[in-house]
């Protein structure tokens, strides 16, 4: 703008330049004197105060070590350190050391503390080349954490000058969880508890608490994988169940092959093949998505067998009754057979869901960040088994209620199908109290009471299921199976030696 | 498909309707209390019916006519083929050879689709009731009406309640089958079949699975149906009293053959065939 004004003479231009220069100098003048080149801040560190870790947590006592070197030709008579808001020097004790090379100078320091400020006055000036070290114990960083820099001022040659901010110290936020851990740390009973080798190694309260917090995302991943996978597994399972019952031999063969291969190989192996095989083919799918796919495909084979056995366990008479009413195949299936199948297979399907949920743990072997992975990492860091226990609790939170539901539903099913079903709701007329030609309800007359063959079929549907609760699914048949066989099946995972276990299986191929 | 089959017997083609009606009338006129109407055709015609399960021949050349509104009771020892014959009539079993005609329409030749249509007119009551256990009594009676006959829910419910009332179970409409006694279940099953307004009702030993004290209730319902609704009924049973009282005609079968047929009093009191006599003798002795 100045240069465009043609009316302005040389004088005027000079004036402008001078003004500009003065403004620039003035700005510098503010900066230069306060930037303490007289003192080079070397380091600022804090000692770890995290239980079992190497982190520094805000809001909890720690020790700050701050070091600076006095530049040549300068004298320092005092230093004031400042913390960000919410930090505190209150209640701290300070040790000040002045070193000339390796020699310690006999310097006394007067320390005044006020909130976020710590004022150190030296009895004798520190001169060029001296190392000034200030150690503050029992000080606190801000609880909200973050990268914290220690700032402050120094008295250089009698003048107050700002210090260059120290290197940042990473501070962990002090959450309520941390506070709880700290509180536990202070409890004598916790100390006593942990002094027992077993309790301290498996059930350390503090670590249990932190484990719950850090395993939570893994738990969500587990749940998400199995919850997303399951609807697909059910659909696929139904498709293959009907394929296995199809009239066409080729269709049956496809279903049988699919089901037998998936049930006949370990899930672990299937995971490896999919996770390492697909990338080899140049197919790269997100780990979590691939996890869902593997779980869905694996479960579908088991579900197909469960559905097939369920459908085949519906007595012939149900088909005949539906047909005699004039229903076609679709109507018979959707209105009569499948609704009953759902009731019958619900416990088994739930058990399979439980198995699937637990089996997501195998995905940790290929790097899916699920519960097992998180707990393994935490155990590696802490050298303590407690994170595994926390993981176990996370698994049980889901499985225990489901197991309970399964046994409840089973009991109800067994009761209603044996004909002695639940009595009508209150208010409904009592069966025996009403004038009726055959008033007495006779138990055991319901037509749907499963025949031994049906039970064998139901049982045959799940010979390869892996845990005890799944075997228990055949509960309506339980009274007909010798106890030793049930026991053996819960140990070996199959119904051993049983005709039942192989009957429904292989005759098709 | 893979099973070895005995040679299929050669059977003459089904007779023409008018011709068959004439012959049937000649054959049956003195064997039933049915009141014949001029030019009437049989409701169900069974001609040369043969049925074998693999090597086991169950029915040999069975011939039988059932007239509209007639109640035919089929008697005979276990394994005589009574139930199989009944199940052939609505094609729950496929005959090996022979013809079954419903209103001169061949059931035996029907395709799958036509079969569903035919079965609407042929109600069946099973020995084991075969109620749908996941549905209440009322829903059991409704489901065929809504799914097969296409009635609205309201219509079906009204019909269901009426039929349940007719079998004395109006107050059990919302009970599940498992909450009902066997006799009650069988009466619901009868209501389910009747609600479809079939033209023929087939009863396959409806009281055999019941405790003795529950039998009467079911028989009363059947008696009521036979006497008051004019329903054509084919009843396979061991209930001699019912047969004597209710039947228009009694058919005695043994070894897959109709051994004797006739008026109830004739068959019971003066059986012409010695096997019939022996069977009835055995029964009454017990």
**Starting from the edge strand earliest in sequence, which strands make up the sheet with B257-262, in order?**
B122-125, B200-204, B232-236, B71-75, B249-254, B257-262
Taking an 8 Å cut-off on Cβ atoms, the answer to whether A447 and B131 are in contact is: yes
What mean pLDDT comes out for the span A384-406? 94
Which chain A residues in 211-240 lie under 8 Å from chain B, judged by CB atoms? none
Interface test with B, best of A325, A329, A443, A444 (most B CBs within 10 A): A325
Spell out which residues of chain A touch residue B217, defining contact as CB-CB under 8 Å: 437-438
The alpha carbon of B117 is separated from its chain's Cα centroid by a whole number of angstroms, namely 18
| pLDDT above 50 (res A477) | no
Do residue B132 and residue A447 have CB atoms under 8 angstroms apart? no
Q: How far apart are the CA of A432 and the nearest CA of chain B, in angstroms?
A: 11
The dihedral formed by the CA atoms of A303, A306, A308 and A313, expressed in degrees to the nearest 10: -160
Q: What is the rounded CA–CA span in Å between residue A314 and residue A458?
A: 10
Contact B235, B71 (CB under 8 A): yes
Q: Which residues of A touch B112 (CB under 8 A)?
A: 328
A17 or B220: which carries more pLDDT confidence? B220
Q: Is A421 on the interface with B (CB under 8 A)?
A: yes
Residue A452: its pLDDT value, please?
41
Other beta carbons less than 10 A from residue A7's beta carbon: 5
Interface of A with B in 328-387 (CB under 8 A): 328, 331, 335-336, 339-340, 343
User: A25 phi and psi, to 5 degrees?
Assistant: -65, -40
Chain B, window 188-227: residues with a beta carbon less than 8 angstroms from a chain A beta carbon:
189, 192-193, 196, 209-211, 213-214, 216-217, 220
Contact B168 A437 (CB under 8 A): yes
Q: Which range among A52-66, B3-17, B56-70, B209-223 shows the weakest confidence by mean pLDDT?
A: B3-17
Structure tokens at A432: 């025996």
The verdict on A446 touching B (C-beta cutoff 8 Å) is yes
pLDDT digits over A425-448, tens only? Answer: 444 443 333 333 333 333 333 333
Is B132 an interface residue toward A (CB < 8 Å)? Answer: yes
B178 → closest Cβ in A322, A440, A446: A446
Q: Order of strands, edge to edge, in the sheet holding A117-127? A: A109-114, A117-127, A75-82, A151-156, A159-162
Does B176 contact A at CB distance below 8 Å?
yes
pLDDT tens-digit profile of B177-232? Answer: 988 999 999 999 999 999 999 999 999 999 988 888 889 999 999 999 988 888 99
Rounded to the nearest angstrom, the minimum Cα separation between A327 and chain B is 6
A434 touches chain B (CB under 8 A): yes
Q: What is the pLDDT of residue A20?
A: 60
C-alpha closest to that of A471 among A491, A449, A452, A454: A491
Instruction: Report helix, strand or coil for A348.
Output: helix
Give me B229's structure tokens.
């609704």
Please state, in angstroms and as integers, the Cα–Cα distance from residue B218 to each residue in A236, B104, B191, B201, B202, following that order: 45, 32, 11, 14, 14
Q: How far is CA A387 from CA A194, A195, A379, A395, in A?
A: 15, 18, 6, 12
Contact between B120 and A447 using a beta-carbon 8 Å cutoff = no
Residue A504: closest CA among A212, A259, A223: A259
Per the model's pLDDT, the better-predicted residue between B283 and A297 turns out to be A297
Higher-scoring residue by pLDDT: A375, A159 = A375
Q: Does A422 touch chain B (CB under 8 A)?
A: yes
Element (H, E) at A377: helix A371-382
| Strand intervals (E) in A394-440 | none
Considering only CB atoms, B129 lies closest to which of A421, A442, A447, namely: A447
Residue B214: its chain A contacts at CB < 8 A?
A: 438, 442
Residue A410's pLDDT band (cuts 50, 70, 90) = confident
Tell me: pLDDT of A492 over 90. no
* Cα–Cα dist A152/A117, whole Å: 8
Cα of B182 to nearest chain A Cα, Å: 6
Chain B residue numbers touching A248 (CB-CB < 8 A):
none
End-to-end CA distance of chain B: 43
CA-closest candidate to residue B138, choices B158, B168, B123, B120: B158
E strand or H helix that includes residue A223: helix A205-244
Longest Cα separation, chain B:
55
């Amino acid at each position: 703008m100045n240069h465009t004004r043609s009316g302005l003479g040389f004088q005027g231009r000079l004036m402008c330049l001078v003004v500009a220069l003065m403004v620039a100098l003035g700005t510098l003048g503010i900066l230069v004197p306060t930037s303490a080149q007289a003192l080079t801040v070397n380091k600022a560190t804090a000692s770890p105060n995290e239980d079992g870790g190497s982190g520094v947590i805000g809001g909890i006592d720690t020790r700050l070590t701050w070091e600076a070197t006095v530049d040549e030709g300068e004298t320092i008579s005092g230093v004031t350190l400042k913390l960000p808001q919410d930090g505190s020097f209150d209640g701290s004790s300070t040790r000040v050391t002045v070193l000339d090379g390796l020699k310690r100078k006999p310097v006394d320091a007067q320390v005044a503390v006020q909130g976020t400020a710590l004022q150190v006055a030296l009895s004798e000036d520190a001169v060029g080349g001296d190392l000034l070290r200030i150690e503050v114990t029992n000080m606190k960083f801000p609880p909200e954490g973050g990268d914290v820099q220690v700032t402050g001022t120094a008295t250089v040659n009698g003048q107050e000058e700002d210090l260059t901010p120290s290197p940042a110290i990473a501070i962990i936020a002090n959450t309520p969880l941390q506070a709880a851990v700290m509180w536990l740390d202070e409890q004598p009973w916790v100390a006593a508890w942990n002094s027992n080798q077993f309790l301290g190694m498996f059930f350390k309260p503090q670590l249990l608490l932190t484990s719950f917090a850090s395993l939570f995302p893994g738990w969500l991943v587990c749940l998400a994988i199995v919850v997303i996978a399951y609807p697909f597994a059910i659909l696929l399972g139904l498709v293959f169940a009907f394929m296995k019952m199809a009239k066409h031999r080729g269709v049956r063969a496809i279903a049988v092959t699919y089901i037998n291969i998936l049930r006949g190989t370990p899930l672990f192996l299937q995971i490896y093949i999919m996770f390492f095989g697909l990338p080899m083919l140049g197919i790269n799918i997100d780990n979590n998505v691939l996890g869902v796919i593997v779980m869905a495909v694996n479960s579908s084979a088991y579900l197909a067998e469960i559905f097939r056995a369920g459908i085949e366990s519906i007595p012939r008479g149900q088909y005949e009754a539906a047909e005699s009413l004039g229903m076609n195949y679709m109507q018979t299936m959707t209105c009569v057979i499948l609704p009953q199948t759902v009731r019958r297979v619900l416990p088994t399907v739930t058990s399979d869901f439980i198995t699937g949920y637990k089996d997501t743990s195998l995905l940790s072997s290929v790097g899916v960040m699920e519960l097992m992975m998180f707990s393994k990492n935490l155990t590696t860091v802490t050298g303590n088994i407690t994170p595994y226990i926390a993981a176990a609790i996370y698994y049980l939170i889901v499985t225990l209620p489901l197991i309970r539901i399964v046994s409840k539903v089973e009991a109800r099913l067994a009761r209603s199908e044996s004909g002695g079903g639940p009595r009508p709701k209150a208010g409904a007329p009592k069966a025996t109290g009403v004038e009726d030609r055959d008033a007495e309800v006779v138990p055991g007359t319901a037509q749907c009471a499963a025949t031994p063959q049906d039970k064998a079929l139901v049982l045959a549907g799940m010979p390869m299921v892996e845990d005890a609760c799944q075997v228990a699914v055949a509960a309506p048949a339980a009274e007909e199976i010798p106890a030793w066989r049930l026991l053996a099946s819960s140990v070996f995972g199959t119904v051993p030696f049983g005709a039942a276990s192989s009957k429904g299986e292989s005759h098709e191929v | 498909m893979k099973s070895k089959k005995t040679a299929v017997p050669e059977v003459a083609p089904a007779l023409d309707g008018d011709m068959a009606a004439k012959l049937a009338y000649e054959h049956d006129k003195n064997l039933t209390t049915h009141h014949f109407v001029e030019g009437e055709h049989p409701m169900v015609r069974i001609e040369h019916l043969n049925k074998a399960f693999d090597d086991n021949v169950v029915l040999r050349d069975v011939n039988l006519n059932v007239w509209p509104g007639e109640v035919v009771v089929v008697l005979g020892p276990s394994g005589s083929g009574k139930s199989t014959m009944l199940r052939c009539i609505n094609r729950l079993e496929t005959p090996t050879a022979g013809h079954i005609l419903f209103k001169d329409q061949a059931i035996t030749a029907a395709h799958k689709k036509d079969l569903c249509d035919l079965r609407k007119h042929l109600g069946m009551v099973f020995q084991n009731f075969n109620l749908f256990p996941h549905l209440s009594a009322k829903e059991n009676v409704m489901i065929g009406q809504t799914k097969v006959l296409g009635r609205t829910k309201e219509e079906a419910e009204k019909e269901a309640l009426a039929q349940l009332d007719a079998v004395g179970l109006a107050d059990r409409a919302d009970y599940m089958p498992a909450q009902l006694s066997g006799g009650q279940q069988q009466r619901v099953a009868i209501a389910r079949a009747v609600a479809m307004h079939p033209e023929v009702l087939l009863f396959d030993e409806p009281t055999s699975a019941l405790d003795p004290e529950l039998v009467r209730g079911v028989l009363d319902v059947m008696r009521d149906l036979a006497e008051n609704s004019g329903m054509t009924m084919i009843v396979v049973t061991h209930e001699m009293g019912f047969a004597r009282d209710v039947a228009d005609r009694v058919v005695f079968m043994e070894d897959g053959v109709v051994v004797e047929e006739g008026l109830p009093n004739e068959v019971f009191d003066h059986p012409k065939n010695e096997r019939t006599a022996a069977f009835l003798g055995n029964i009454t002795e017990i």
